Structure 1
C-alpha cells in the first residue's frame, strides 16, 4: 500500500484535520457553495424572465423588440422616411441599449418585418427578408428598414412623459420601460418565448375583434371572459388556415390561459381532367415551412403510400398555391384527411397566455398566466395611465405657455418704456432685473420678453398673442375638467381605441384570414379507407423474421433462412390486426397491411417495433373477428368468451383479455405481464377457460390442471402459481391448452428421446403443486413445437 496521506486527512481539509481553514482576505466572507449557486441561478432566472423571454402585457413587446423600435424612432425612421440599412439600426441598438449578439438582434428585426410571422408587421423592410419556404433573410448589410405605419401608434406619445424611463446598461442613456402603445400588440401579434421554468405562446388575433372587445369592456366592466369570446372569436394567423377547435374549446382556452389550437391548411377543388383532377392548397398552418410540406407530400407520391395521389406542384407566387394531382375517382376529403394526419398540413399549436404584469416597481414586471379578460383589463388601465400622464404633461406645458403669454400681454402697451429700459441697461441681466422691478414680472417672463424678436412688436401681433392666450386658457380648462372626471377620461380612451380600429382594421385588406371549421366540414382520418380489403397470411419465424403473403398452402415450404423455422402463420383481413407476444412481456400490435409483402425471407421484426436486448417473439395471434371471435365481454366486468393465457419460466400463469390489444400499438408496444428479473414468458395461447393446461419443467415434472383455475387479471400483473419450481436449475419450459385426449404435448429428453404428455395418460390435478415426476433419470430439454399450420379465416 502507498504511504501517501489521503487528501481529506490533511490539516484544514473539509472533513479531516483539526487546523482551521486559512483566513479570508479583507472584505471577503465564506459562503456555502449551494447557497451561492442557488442565489446566482435565481438571479439569472429572474433576468431571463423579466428582461428577455416574456412580453409585457401593456405594449406586448419583449425588451429586444422595444429597443429596436425605440432606436428607429430616435433615428426618425418613420413610415414617411427613407429606408436605412439594417446594419446601422442593429449597430445602434447593440451599442446603446442591447449589448448582445448582432445576429439575434437582426433575427428579431427580420421577424418584425415578415408578414407571415406577425399579423401586423411593425417594421417595413426593403430587400430579402426571407420567405415561407424557410429561406433566411439576406445579410443585414444588404437589407433596409423603416417603421411600419402602425408602429406610430406605439411610439407617438413617447415625448409627452407618458411612460417611465430607466438607465441603459451602462448608464449613459435612458430607455423606456414600456412603450405607450395605443394598439393591443400582445394579442394582435402574439408572442413566443421560453424563460427559466416558464414559457409563453400567445397566438395572433384580429385587430378589429380585439378592439371591439376592448370597447365592450369599457362600456360594461362586468363582462366575463366567456362573454368577451363573443367578440374575440379565436386566433387569426397571418398565414390563414382553418381552426378545428369548437367554440366551447376556444372559450376554455381563453378562460384558463392554456390549451392547444388545432390548425390545418385550406384547399379548394381545381380542374377536372380525363383521368385526374386537381386540389389546390391555398393556406398552410402558422409556423409551417411550405417547402418542407411540399417535400413531405412528394415523399408520399414517390413511396406510393397514398396511391390516389399522383403528383404535387408548388406554383405559389405572393399567394400560396400548391397543386395536388389525384385520380379522377378519388375522394378529395379522404385524401386531405390523410395528408392532415401524415404531413404538417395540420398542426397543434400550444397556447400559454403568460406575460409580465406591472408591479409597484415600475421597471420590473411579474410573470403571470392570464385569461382573456385580464389581458384586456391590463391594457385598458395602461391606456388610462398613459392618458392621465399625457394630460398632466400637456397641462404643465400649457401652464408654462400661458404664463409667458400673460407677461407679453402685460407689457405690450408699454413697449416704448421697455425699449428705453433696455437701451439704458448694462446688459441682459441688468435689463431683466429692471423689467421685473418695473412691471412685477418673474425671471422667466422677463427673459421671454428680452428674447422677443423685433417683428413681434407690430400692432397685429398683440391680437395673435391674445387669441393664443384665449385658446390656451380654454384648453387648460378642458384638461383640468378631464383630470377631474374619470368617466370623461374613459370616454377619451374609448375614442382613441375606436379611431385605431377604424384606421387599421375597418378595411377590406384586413379581413379575418383564419376561418373556423364546422363539424360537417371536418373529415377525420380513417386509415382503413385507403386499405384494399383482402385476406392475407403473415408468417413469423423463430429468429424474428416477418412477412406477408397472399396465400400460404404449406407453411413448411415457405422460404426461410438456414437454421430458422416457422413460429406461426396466421391469416386475416388486411384491415385486421395481429399481435406479437414476446419473452419480456411485451405485446406489439399492427395491421396485416403494415407487414411488408414478400416472397423472400421477410424483414426483421425489430424494424417495426422497439424490442429490448434479447427480446424474442413467443406467440402470434390474428385478431381478425373471423379468426378470433368473442374477444369482447358480453357484459361489463365479465371475462370475454375467448381470451389469452400466458405462463412464465418461474412457474406463474395468468389469464387476460385480448380486447385491449386489438388496436395498433406504438413501436414500444404494451405490457401484458409483470416479470421479475431473469424471468421470461415461455408461451401465450388463446383459451376459453374450458381447456386443460399441460405444463412441463426442465426437471421432468408435469402439471395438468383446469385453465379456469388461473386467475383473470384486468391489467398487467405477475399472475398465480401454476407449478412450483424447485431449485435454481429448474424452470418452466412451456405449456399447451388441451381441448381433449388427442391434444398432446411432446417434450424432448436429455437423452434425445421424445415423450408425450396428455390428459389420457395422466390425471388432472389442482394448480400450485410440484406436479408429477415423469423421469427418474435425466431431464426435459425443450417442448417440441407442433407441425406448422396456417391459423386462418374459416372457409
Structure 2
C-alpha cells in the first residue's frame, strides 16, 4: 500500500539503527561479546570442534562455517573480528589461538584467511563449557535452519577483562581491558558485601590493564569519577628506561607504547622531529623491536633524557588519551532476544555479571539434578528386575518381539517405558552377579548427589559460595601474570615540557619571499644570492636568536607570531607560509619584524591600505607566539588590503604613493593610534580606479630616505618625505607625473641583521 515517504524513511531508519545497536556494534553486559564474536566462538566450538587441544584449521574454513549459518554479513567482518580475538596486543586475554601472520603493532594486516589457521584458546572454553547444560536460551538463526545462543554462559567477566570498541547509530562504546585477577577479587568482595561502593571496589580494580602496557597518569579521584559515571578520559603514556653506553653517555629505550597506537607511525613521527631538528638533543631513532617493544633514541652526550622525553610525550602519540565509554546492552525482561543499551558504572557491570552467574549456576545445577534423577530412575528399574533375573529372562524369551516383551515387563514389574527400554538394551554381561552390586553402589552415590544438589539449590548462600569458589579457581588458573599497565594511586607525575631548553643558543636568518615562501638559514650575507623559484624575489630577511620570536604581518590585517626555531630550516626554496599558519585564500605576508632583544624594538607600527586608510597600532599585543590562526591587528574593508607595515615614532613623516603617481606627505602623529583592530582613518583620498602602491616612513629633515619608482612613460622618480611639502592627512596629494602611472616601485628587500653582523 502507498505510504508517506517521510514516515517510511523514519520507520526504516529506526529499524536500521536498532539493528546496528543490538545486533552489531554493542556488546552484551553478561558475556561481553558482540554478536559476530559470539557466533565465531560458538561456531568454532559447536560446529568445528576447535577446542584448545584440537588440530588447527584454516581460517577460511572457520569464516565459511560462521557466515553460512550464523552471520551472513560478509567474510571481511567475520575475519576481522576473528583476527582481533587472536591478537595479544589487542586483547588482554586472547580467545583465539592463531597460527600464522595475524598482524602486528606496526599496523600490518593479517595474512589472507586462506593462509592462516586457528583454534580456540583454553580461556575461551570458560565462555562455552556450560552450553551443553541448558544454561542459556537459544534462538533460531537468520534463516530458521539452526539455533544459536542468545548469550554465552561466560564464567569470566569478559566485558571488562578484554574490553571492546564499537560505533553504533547515535551512540558508541569504548571499554578498556582489565586484569582478570583484580576483577575476580572485586566480584568475590561484592558477593561478600553487596553494599560496596565504586570507590571501595577500586581497592581491587586498580584501573585499566592494557595489553601493550604503559603508564596511567590519572589520580585515584579521576579514575573513581570515570568508573562511577561510565565515561571519562584515561591519560596513558609509554614507558622508557635509560641504557648506559660503553663509549659514554646514555640512550633512551622506549619499552612500551600506549594501547591502539601504531608503532611504526610513532617511530616515523619521532624520526620526522629529529630530521627537522626540532629535537637537537636526539641524534637518531631506531626500532629494534622483536616480540618486545624496543625503540632506541640515541642522544647527544650532554642531553637531558627527561627533557627529551617531555618533548616526545607532548608532540607524539607516545602519550595519548583513551576515552572510556562503558556503554553496553543490558537484559530486557520483556524481550530477552534484544538488549537495551545503557551506560553503566563499574559496580553496575559487576552486579549484572554476578546476577547472570547466579542464573547460569542455577540452571546448570538444575540440569545436573535432572540428569541425576533420570539416571536414578533407570537404576531403580535395574534394581527391580535384578531380584528376578530368571523370570525376566523367561518373559523376554517367551515374547514375540521387543514391543511384546516391553508390555509384559511393564505389567509384571511395574516399570515405565524408559526403564523398560534400558533393560531391553542392556548387554548380557550386565546380568552377572557382581553387576547388581555396581548398580546398588551407583544408586546410593547418585541419591546422595541428588540430595546435595537439592540442598544447594535451596540455599542462596551456598550458591553464592559456589560462584565465589569458581571465581577463585579462574583467578588461580588464568590470572597468573602481573599487571602490564602501571597505575599510581596519586597519579603519575606528568613531565613538564620546557620548549626553551630544547632550542640551541644560535642565531639564524629567516627569508620571506614575495610569493609566500619561507625558510631559515644560519647566515645570509647577500639576500640576492639566496635560492629562489623562478620569477620570485626576496621580500624580507630578518635575523634573530633561535629562541626569539618573529612577527609576520599579512595583507588581511592578521599578525602571525612564531619562534625562529619553528621556521623549517632549508637550503632550498623553503616551505609555503601556509604550512605554518592558517592563511585565507589570497592572504600573503607584507612585512616582518624580529623580536630579538638585541634589535631595536618599535613600540608602534603603521599600516596603510590600498584605499588610502592608515592606522597606528602597538607591537606589545604581538610579542608572544600565536596560534595558527594568528591575531588581528587591523580590519580591512571589502576589496581592500594592507599594503605594508612599518615601524614609526610620533615625530616621523609618512609619504604615500598611488598608482597615478599622486603623493601625499603628512605627520604620523595625525594618524590615529588604535588600541584594538580597526579600519583606521583616511591618509590620502584615492579616486576611483586608483590605489596606493607603497608608502615610506622617514624622520623629519631626512633628505636621503626616498621611495624610488618607475612610470609607464619611462620616468624614474623618487618620493622624498623629507623634501616634499608636508600637508594634512586626508587630501588628494599632487601628481608627480601627469597623466602617467606607476610601473614598478623599486624597493630593496628588507634586511635587518643582528648588531654584531653589521
TM-score, structure 1 as length reference: 0.80
Separation of aligned partners in 2, 1:200 and 1:171: 30
8 Å contact from structure 2 (residues 508, 543) kept in 1: yes
Deviation sequence 1:435-486 (CA, Å, 0-9, x none): 4444444433443444444444445444443443444344334433443333
Q: What's 1:637 paired with?
A: none
Partner residue, 2:561 = 589
2:417 aligns to what? 443
| Change beyond 3 A, Cα 1:173–1:780 | same
Q: 2:160 aligns with which of 180, 187, 197?
A: 187
**Paired position in structure 2 for 1:263:** 236
2:678 maps to 1:678: no
Q: Aligned to 2:552, what secondary structure does the other structure show?
A: strand
Q: CA deviation at 1:337?
A: 3.5
Q: Does 1:712 align with 2:684?
A: no
Aligned-partner SS, 1:538: strand
Cα contact 1:533–1:574 (8 A) shared by 2: yes
SS at match of 1:192: strand
Show the counterpart of 1:513. 484
The match for 2:41 is: 69
Residues 578 and 623 in structure 1, CA contact (< 8 A), matched pair in contact too: yes
Task: Select which of 497, 522, 533 maps to 2:505.
Answer: 533
The residue number in structure 1 matching 2:585 is 613
Distance in 2, Cα, partners of 1:50 & 1:623 = 60
Show structure 1 runs of 5+ residues with no match: 1-28, 631-641, 766-770
Match of 2:347 in 1: 373
Using the TM superposition, give the Cα deviation of residue 673 of structure 1 relative to its aligned residue in structure 2, in angstroms: 5.1
Aligned to 1:387, which of 361, 368, 387? 361
Residue correspondence of structure 1 range 551-590 to structure 2 within 5 A: 567-590=539-562
The equivalences for 1:79-90 within 5 A come to 79-90=52-63
With over 3 angstroms needed to count, the CA separation of the structure-2 counterparts of 1:148 and 1:282, relative to structure 1, is: same
Deviates more, 1:325-334 or 1:454-463: 454-463
* Paired residues, number: 743
Rounded to whole Å, the distance in 2 between the matches of 1:695 and 1:725 is 13
Q: 1:202, 1:573 → 2: CA distance?
A: 48
Match of 1:398 in 2: 372
Q: Which moved more, 1:207-216 or 1:517-526?
A: 517-526
Q: Quick check: 1:48 aligned with 2:20?
A: yes
8 Å contact from structure 1 (residues 538, 569) kept in 2: yes
Is the Cα contact below 8 Å between 2:637 and 2:679 reproduced in 1?
no
CA distance in 2, matches of 1:596, 1:181: 57
Larger deviation, residues 454-463 vs 773-782: 773-782
Cα separation, 1, equivalents of 2:86 and 2:653: 74
Residue pairs, 1:147-158, within 5 angstroms? 147-158=120-131
The answer to whether the aligner puts 1:109 opposite 2:82 as a matched pair is yes
- What is the aligned partner in structure 2 of residue 636 from structure 1? none
Residues 133, 786 of structure 1: alpha-carbon distance in 2 compared, 3 angstrom cutoff: closer
SS at 1:96's partner residue? Answer: coil
TM-superposition CA deviations, 1:314-337 (whole Å, max 9, x none): 444433334443333322223334
What is the deviation of 1:179? 0.8
Deviations 1:626-656 (A, max 9, x none): 65879xxxxxxxxxxx576756556485857
Match of 1:622 among 594, 619, 636: 594
Cα deviation per residue 1:511-570 (whole Å; 9 max; x = unaligned)?
111224787864344443332123444343444344445566787998888987765444
**Alpha carbons of structure 1 residues 504 and 369: separation in structure 2 relative to 1, 3 Å:** same
Distance 2:76 2:407 in 1: 60
TM-score with structure 2 length normalisation? 0.84
Return the offset for 1:189: 1.4
Q: For the aligned residues, what is the CA RMSD? A: 4.2
Partner Cα distance (2:50, 2:532) in 1? 76
Aligned partner of 2:142 in structure 1 is 169
Give 1:16-31 correspondences, 5 Å limit.
29-31=1-3
CA distance in 1, matches of 2:408, 2:531: 121
Could you report, residue by residue, the CA deviation over 1:10-61 in whole angstroms, capped at 9, with x for unpaired residues? Answer: xxxxxxxxxxxxxxxxxxx223334433333333333222222222221122
Superposition map of 1:173-322 within 5 A: 173-274=146-247, 277-298=250-271, 306-322=279-295
Q: Which runs of 5+ in 2 are unaligned?
A: none
